[in-house]
Amino acid sequence: MPTQKRTLLTRFLIWRIKYISQTQFVYFISIVVGFLAGVGAVILKNLTHFIQHLLEGNLIQYYHTAFYFIFPILGLTIVYIIIKYIIRNKVNHGIPSTLFAISKRKGFIKRYQMFGSILTAPLTVGFGGSVGLEGPTVATGAALSSNLSRVLHLNQANRTLLIGCAAAGAMASIFKAPIAALIFAIEVFSLDLTLASMLPLLLASISGILTSYFFFGSDILLPFKAIDSFTLRDVPFFMVLGLVAGFTSVYFTRVYAFFQDFFEKIKSPFQRLVIGGLGIGILIYFIPPLYGEGFDVINNLVKGNPEKALENNIFHLELSSIWIVIALLTGLLLFKIIASSLTFGAGGVGGIFAPVLFMGSIMGNLVAKILNNCGLLSTPISESNFTLVGMTGLMAGVLYAPLTAIFLIAEVTGGYELFIPLMITAAISFSITKYFIPHSVYAMELGRKGELITHNKDHAVLTLMDIRTVIEQDFINIYPDMTLGEMVHEAIVKSKRNIFPVLNRNTKTLEGIILLDDLRPVMFDQALYKELKASELMHSAPDTILLNKDKMTDVMKKFQDTGAWNLPVINDGVYFGFVSKSKLLTAYRRKLIDFSGRQ
C-alpha cells in the first residue's frame, strides 16, 4: 500500500510539473492551506466550547464555585499526561515556535505539531486555563502547511509563504476579518507585501473565512458594532488612551518575560505543573472572570454591561458603586497576564492573542470610566468606543502589529468610523513600547538570540543562512614545533590553500596562523629548514568565529571590521575550520535571490 501511494504521488507531481506552473500551483495550495487552517480553527473552537459548556455551565452553576479552583489543575494534569505519554514531545506555543521554524529550521515543522495543539489546547482553555486559541490554531495550520509542502516537494521559499498563508487562513476563520488576517501574516511573519506573496495570502484568507461561514454561519467571535461616532474633541482622550496602552503593554511584556524566566529555571515538568497549576487555580477561584479566554467579558464591556462580567466576584461586592466596578476591573487588568503566564508555566498550551484583547478591552473601558467619573468632563465620552480602541492599543504594543490591530477592530465593528482614533492610539502605544522593549512577546526570545526574521532584508537573509554550510575544513594543520623543512614538505607541497592553522598537538586549540606570504621569503633557503620553527613564523588571527555563539550577522561584521579574507572557526575552544569571505558572499547572494524570489 505505501508503494502504491508513493507511485500515485510521484505521478501527480510529474503531471503537475508538465501542466501546471509553479505560480499557479502555489495559488491552488494556498487555498487548500487556508481551508485546512479554517478546519483546524473550527475543531479547536468547538472542542473548547463543548468542554466549557459541560463544566462551567453545569458543575459550577449547580454545585459549587470551588470547581473554579479544581478544573484548571485537572485540565493541566490531563495535558501533562497527554504530552508525556501520548505525544511524547513538547507541544510548542503557537506563533513563537512557528517563527523559530521559519528562521532556524527552513520552514520544517515536526509532524506531531499537526495534532499536538488540537489535543492539548482545548483541554487547557476548556478547563479554565487563562490563555487563547489563536496561537494554537496558527500553529496547527502552519504545521499542516509545512508538512504538505514537504510532501509536494516545495522549496523553502514557498514553504515559508504557505506558513504565512496558514496564519492568514486561521485568523480569518477565527475573527471573520480577512484583510486583518492578511496583514497579520505580513506583520508577524515579516513577509513583504509584493504580488508574489499578496495573492496567495489573500486566497488563503478568503478560503479560511469561507470555511468559517460554512461551519459557524454568521456567528462572530466579537459581535459588536461601533455605535457612537468619533468627534474631534475626543482626540486628546484617545492620546491619553495611547499612553496608558503603551505602559500597559510594557507591564504585560515584562510580567510575561518574568514568569517565563522563572519557570525555565524549574527543570522538572511536574514541579512546574504543581506550582503553575496551584497558582492559576487560586487566581481563578478568587477572580472567576479570568476563567478561559474571556470573550464574554469583552462583549459585556462593549455592550455597556460591566456588572454582568463582574457579578461572580468572590467578595460579593455591591456593583452599584462605579468605583467598586473600576477597582474590580483594575484587578482583572493586572492579574490576567499573571494568570496567563502561570498557565503557560504549568505546561498549558495556548496563545496570548486572547489575553491581549481581554486586557486591552478592560484597559480602554477603565480609562473611559475614570475620565467620565472624575468630574472634569462636561460631556461623557463613549465607553464602548474606548473599549474597542483599547484592544487596538494593546495589540499594537504587545504584539508589535499596529496595522493588524487597526484593521481587525475596523473590520469586526463593521466600518471605519473609529479609524482615526485607532491609528492615534496604536501609533502612540507602539512607539512607547518599542522604546522600552525591543521585541514583541512573540519574538523576544528569538530577538535576544539574533535569530529573528525581520522586514530588514539584509538581516533576514543573514538570519536564514546556516554558518555550517560555509565552513571549509580542507586546510593542512601545522604544529608550533614543526621546522621550516617539515612545513614545506608536509604542508605547503600538499596544500591547495594559502593559509595554515597552527594547532597545539595535544588540545587541538588554535595558537595562530601562518600565511603562504609569511613563508615565501624563507621557504627556498634550505639553510633555514632546520633552524626556523612554526612558532617563530606564526601570528595571531585577525579575529575568530565562535561556532556556537556567533550569528551570521556577527560573522559578517567581523569580516567587515578586520578586512580579512579568511577567519578561523572555533568550536568549544577547539579549532574547527575556516570561513572565507568569498564563499560567504556567494552563499549570501544565493540566499538573497531565493529570499527575494519568494517575496
Quick one: pLDDT at residue 224? 67
Hey, is 477 helix, strand or coil?
coil
Cβ pair 134, 351 in contact under 8 A: yes
Element (H, E) at 511: strand 510-515
Q: Give the pLDDT confidence score for residue 474 in this predicted structure.
A: 86
User: Mean pLDDT score of the chain, rounded to an integer?
Assistant: 84
Pair 147, 379: CB distance under 8 Å:
no
| Predicted local distance difference test score (pLDDT) of residue 441 | 79
Note whether 163 and 140 are within 8 A (CB). no
Separation between Cα atoms, residue 155 and residue 25, nearest integer Å: 13
What does CATH list as the number for 18-216? 1.10.3080.10
Mean pLDDT of all residues in 431-454? 70
The Cα diameter of the chain in Å comes to: 103
Dist CA 165 CA 172 (whole Å): 10
pLDDT digits (tens, 9 = 90+) for 318-360: 777 788 888 889 989 999 999 999 999 998 999 888 999 999 9
Whether the CB-CB separation of 264 and 347 falls below 8 Å is answered with no
Per-residue model confidence as pLDDT tens digits over 370-422: 999 887 777 889 888 899 999 999 999 998 889 999 999 888 876 577 889 99
Question: Looking up cell 473550527, which residue turns up?
Answer: 42
| Structure confidence at residue 497 (pLDDT) | 84
Overall average pLDDT of the 283-289 stretch: 85
Same fold, 18-216 and 460-598: no
Q: Give all strands of the β-sheet with 545-546 in edge-to-edge order.
A: 471-472, 574-580, 566-571, 545-546
Q: What pTM did the predictor assign?
A: 0.76
Minimal CA–CA distance to 245: which of 74, 391, 401?
391
Which are the contacts of 109, defined by CB distance < 8 A and separation ≥ 6? 97, 98, 101, 142, 143, 146, 147, 163
Q: What is the pLDDT of residue 598?
A: 45
d(CA 102, CA 85): 28
State what percent of residues in the chain have pLDDT above 70: 87
C-alpha cell at 162: 504557505
Confidence of residue 459 (pLDDT cuts 50, 70, 90): low
* Amino acid 460: pLDDT: 56
The CATH number, out of the four listed (3.30.565.10, 3.10.580.10, 3.30.1330.10, 3.30.300.130), of the domain defined by the range 460-598:
3.10.580.10
User: What is the structure's pLDDT at 506?
Assistant: 87
Of the candidates 222, 65, 43, which has an alpha carbon nearest to the alpha carbon of residue 128? Answer: 65
What is the pLDDT confidence band of residue 193, given thresholds at 50, 70 and 90? low
CATH number for the domain whose boundaries are 232-455:
1.10.3080.10
Can you give 71-101 as a three-state secondary structure string?
HHHHHHHHHHHHHHHHHCCCCCCHHHHHHHH
User: Mapping DSSP to helix (H, G, I), strand (E, B) and coil, where does residue 493 land?
Assistant: coil
Averaged pLDDT for residues 173-187: 89
The whole-number pLDDT of residue 454 equals 47
> What type of residue sits at position 112?
Y
Calculate ∠ Cα 275-280-282, nearest 5°: 95
DSSP secondary structure, 354-422, as one string: HHHHHHHHHHHHHHHHHHHHSS--SS---HHHHHHHHHHHHHHHHSS-HHHHHHHHHHHTTSSTTHHHH
Closest CA to 289 of 274, 279, 301: 301
Give backbone dihedrals phi and psi of 3, rounded to 5 degrees, phi first. -65, -40
Grid cell, residue 128, equals 479554565
Length of the chain in residues, anyone? Answer: 599
**How would you classify residue 217: left for phi > 0, otherwise alpha for psi between -120 and 50, otherwise beta?**
left
| Residue 19's pLDDT band (cuts 50, 70, 90) | confident
Domain residue limits, the chain: 18-216, 232-455, 460-598
